[in-house]
């Protein structure tokens, strides 16, 4: 697994290599010639490091999906983070609070999202360690910013991102369907028959 990453990507089980190839292809298409990606040792989860700002990268994914909902076949969800730290409560809290001070305005709402894999850390203790030190109002439904913690074994990706920067391919496909985009190509590109 990469020591440093700024994207956490979910895919289908046993499709990790296909997902990495799809990421590389998309990255080269948008001008990121230096994307690196690797398996994590967990099914359905990979990490990547883009040379671009990770939120700009996920925004490009969002734009591509809104114009062509069936472009991606293996990427299911992409979460950007700004830094990778050792997966200790102190390191995670320190990184999260530093990023929150830089990226959350006093008037903005936030929420903390923590995903813990291959670690003794508990999701609740991470959320409490961060949230107890931030004075901003919490909004679980529609926060201005999301403090993201992605623990994978001995590494943790930490970020403070706009809610819309966390890209769920299926949600965006539903949005595109509702808006009438991509409907004609749905059957062809998804591989489904008549």
Domains of the chain in start order, with CATH, are 7-190 (3.30.2130.30)
Residue 173 and residue 77 in contact, taking contact as beta carbons nearer than 8 Å: no
Alpha helices in the chain (DSSP H): 16-29, 54-67, 89-103, 123-131, 169-179, 186-190
Separation between Cα atoms, residue 125 and residue 174, nearest integer Å: 34
Instruction: Give the percent of the chain with pLDDT over 90.
Output: 87
Tell me which residue of 80, 15, 71 sits closest to 47, measured CA to CA.
Answer: 80
Residue 182 and residue 68 in contact, taking contact as beta carbons nearer than 8 Å: yes
DSSP per-residue letters across 91-144:
HHHHHHHHHHHHH--TT--EEEEEEEESSS--HHHHHHHHHTT--SPB-SSS-S
pTM reported for the whole predicted model: 0.91
Residue 183 confidence (pLDDT) above 90: no
Each residue's pLDDT tens digit, 34-62: 999 999 999 999 999 999 999 999 999 99
The answer for residues whose C-beta is within 8 angstroms of residue 28's C-beta and 6 or more apart is 35
pLDDT average, residue stretch 158-163: 97
pLDDT band at 181; cut points 50, 70, 90 = low
Each residue's pLDDT tens digit, 84-108: 999 999 999 999 999 999 999 999 9
User: Which residue in the block uniquely carries the two structure tokens 């913690």?
Assistant: 149
Predicted pLDDT of residue 194: 30
């Amino acid at each position: 697994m990469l020591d440093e990453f700024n994207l956490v990507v979910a895919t289908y089980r046993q499709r990790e290599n296909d997902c990495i190839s799809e990421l590389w292809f998309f990255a080269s298409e948008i001008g990121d010639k230096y994307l690196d990606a690797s398996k994590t040792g967990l099914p359905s989860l990979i990490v990547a490091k883009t040379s671009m700002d990770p939120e700009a990268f996920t925004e490009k994914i969002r734009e591509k999906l809104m114009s062509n909902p069936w472009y991606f076949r293996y990427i299911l969800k992409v979460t950007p983070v700004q830094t990778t730290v050792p997966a200790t409560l102190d390191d995670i809290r320190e990184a999260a609070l530093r990023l929150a001070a830089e990226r959350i305005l006093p008037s903005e709402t936030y929420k903390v999202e923590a995903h813990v894999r291959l670690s003794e850390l508990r999701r609740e203790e991470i959320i409490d360690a961060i949230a107890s030190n931030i004075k901003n109002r919490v909004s679980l439904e529609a926060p201005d910013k999301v403090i993201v913690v992605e623990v994978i074994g001995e590494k943790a990706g930490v970020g403070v991102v706009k809610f819309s920067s966390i890209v769920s391919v299926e949600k965006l496909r539903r949005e595109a369907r509702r808006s009438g985009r991509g409907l004609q190509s749905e059957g062809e590109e998804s591989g489904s028959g008549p």
